[in-house]
Amino acid sequence: MAVERVLSGMRPTGNLHLGHYNGVLKNWLRLQHEHECFFFVADWHALTTHYDTPEIIEESVWEMVIDWLAAGVDPSSATVFIQSKVPEHAELNTLLSMITPLSWLERVPTYKDQQEKLSGKDLATYGFLGYPLLQSADILMYKATQVPVGEDQIPHIELTREIARRFNHIYGKEAGFEDKAKEAIKKLGKKRAKLYEEMRNSHQESGDDEALESARAMIEEQQNLSMGDKERLLGYLEGGGKIILLEPEYKLTPASKMPGLDGQKMSKSYNNTISLRESPDDVTKKIRTMPTDPARVRRTDPGDPVNCPVWQLHEIYSDDSVQDWVQTGCKSGGIGCIECKQPVIDGVLKELKPMQERAVQYTEDPSLVKNIVAEGNEKARKVARETMRDVRDAMGLGYS
């Protein structure tokens, strides 16, 4: 299989909590060992909605990177960087804006949804309308094949795919493309050339996606082909011109099943979170004061875990025997709620402990974090510079 490149970003708008950890971050941790990963702080995206509170962004950028590192993001296998420190994103955003129909942006569902949801803020800005295009620039810059995102972000990835297609369609044409593609096929050698033609036909005549995938993989593996020839062969497979920008796939982040302190989904806007660096005392306090089944007025009143948010946490943090103990004790009135909450407190503290220990070195010495990010910025810029060279050339801006 061709090498996958994963890219994902997060807006720095506050502390990360257990919901982020159990949804997004655990997913990142897995991916960083399987693929080449780029994880970045989307600070410009944060400004689209928080333009009037820049101080929150500034602080959250570093706190968020510390949370990532504490959770186990490993800078020796993933590239961690900050969007605004790779100004090529802004250049690509500008260039892509030239070919982006206004209607494509206006019909992205988050545009109207968020304006309604955040009605206290004036989001009728150019920057906010352009939010998904900036995201497309983030993704296309790295020729990412996979973008792990939550469900709400799928339209943004679809927009990205459409923009890549439009870009390749407009700028992927070069004089004598067919001839050049045919020359490139010869370079594959007889056997592979035949296979390529067969798979190309199969895809173009009957829309065989598997043939397309295998042909792509075969091309990616060729060591003796120039980048230009690879792009021609990839483009020729689908009938069009050169593929300059790659259409990404989205990879749905497994939904975080993390319930908050009130039984609703854990989310900052519900004020029901436990943050990754919450002190043990505060964790204890927060769980001790959680609401329970209202039927249990006195300690001896029987209750039912289905009516209790604490039970939802037991489902995550407790093993079968503890869960049995809760079920029996709650329904018979045999255990008290404070008693019942203790294993949950222990479970949360146990999950947070290694993260909080890892965070200490970074909070004590912020230069560690700055160095990791500086290195990541440089790595990201190297890729970004290459993409921009191709994009500028394609758009007739290759002169100097």
What are the E-state strand segments in the chain? Answer: 5-10, 36-41, 78-82, 146-149, 249-252
Picking from 139, 135, 110, the residue whose alpha carbon sits closest to that of residue 123 is: 110
**Residue 347 interacts with ligand SF4 (CB under 6 A): yes or no:** no
**Interacting span for ligand SF4 (CB under 6 A) from 244-252, 289-297, 351-359, 361-369:** 289-297
Alpha carbon distances (Å) from 25 to 68, 205, 258, 274:
7, 42, 13, 15
**Residue 225 interacts with ligand SF4 (CB under 6 A): yes or no:** no
Are 96 and 53 contacting, i.e. CB atoms less than 8 angstroms apart? Answer: no
**Residue 340 interacts with ligand SF4 (CB under 6 A): yes or no:** yes
What is the pattern of x (binds ligand SF4, CB under 6 A) and - over residues 62-91? ------------------------------
Interaction partner, residue 130 (ligand TRP, ligand SF4, none; CB < 5-8 Å by kind): none
Alpha carbon distances (Å) from 157 to 40, 135, 162, 168, 248:
16, 8, 9, 16, 7
**Residue 317 interacts with ligand SF4 (CB under 6 A): yes or no:** no
**Residue 390 interacts with ligand TRP (CB under 6 A): yes or no:** no
**Residue 17 interacts with ligand TRP (CB under 6 A): yes or no:** no
Residue of the chain from 42, 326, 345, 391 that contacts ligand SF4 (CB under 6 A): 326
**Residue 60 interacts with ligand TRP (CB under 6 A): yes or no:** no
**Residue 308 interacts with ligand SF4 (CB under 6 A): yes or no:** yes
Residue of the chain from 335, 349, 368, 383 that contacts ligand SF4 (CB under 6 A): 335
Q: In angstroms, give the least distance from the CB of 22 to ligand SF4.
A: 20
Residue of the chain from 41, 65, 139, 330 that contacts ligand TRP (CB under 6 A): 139
Are 247 and 165 contacting, i.e. CB atoms less than 8 angstroms apart? Answer: yes
Angle, vertex CA 78, rays to CA 383 and CA 134, nearest 5: 50
Are 101 and 3 contacting, i.e. CB atoms less than 8 angstroms apart? Answer: no
Interaction partner, residue 88 (ligand SF4, ligand TRP, none; CB < 5-8 Å by kind): none
Are 186 and 46 contacting, i.e. CB atoms less than 8 angstroms apart? Answer: no
**Interacting span for ligand TRP (CB under 6 A) from 4-12, 166-174, 232-240, 258-266:** 4-12
Cα–Cα distance measured from residue 175 to residue 364, given in angstroms and rounded to the nearest whole number: 58
Largest CA distance in the chain: 85
**Residue 318 interacts with ligand TRP (CB under 6 A): yes or no:** no
Q: 146-149 and 249-252 as β-strands: parallel, antiparallel, unpaired?
A: parallel
Per-position DSSP letters for 150-217, written without gaps between them: -GGGHHHHHHHHHHHHHHHHHH---TTHHHHHHHHHHTT-HHHHHHHHHHHHHHHHH--HHHHHHHHH
| Helix count and strand count (H, E) for the chain | 19, 5
Which residue's CB is nearer to ligand SF4, number 204 or number 307?
307
Q: In angstroms, give the least distance from the CB of 61 to ligand SF4.
A: 38
Interaction partner, residue 8 (ligand SF4, ligand TRP, none; CB < 5-8 Å by kind): ligand TRP
Q: In angstroms, give the least distance from the CB of 351 to ligand SF4.
A: 19
Contact footprint for ligand TRP (CB under 6 A): 7-11, 42, 45, 135, 138-139, 147, 149, 153
Contact footprint for ligand SF4 (CB under 6 A): 292-293, 296, 303, 305, 308, 310-311, 326, 330, 335, 337, 340-341
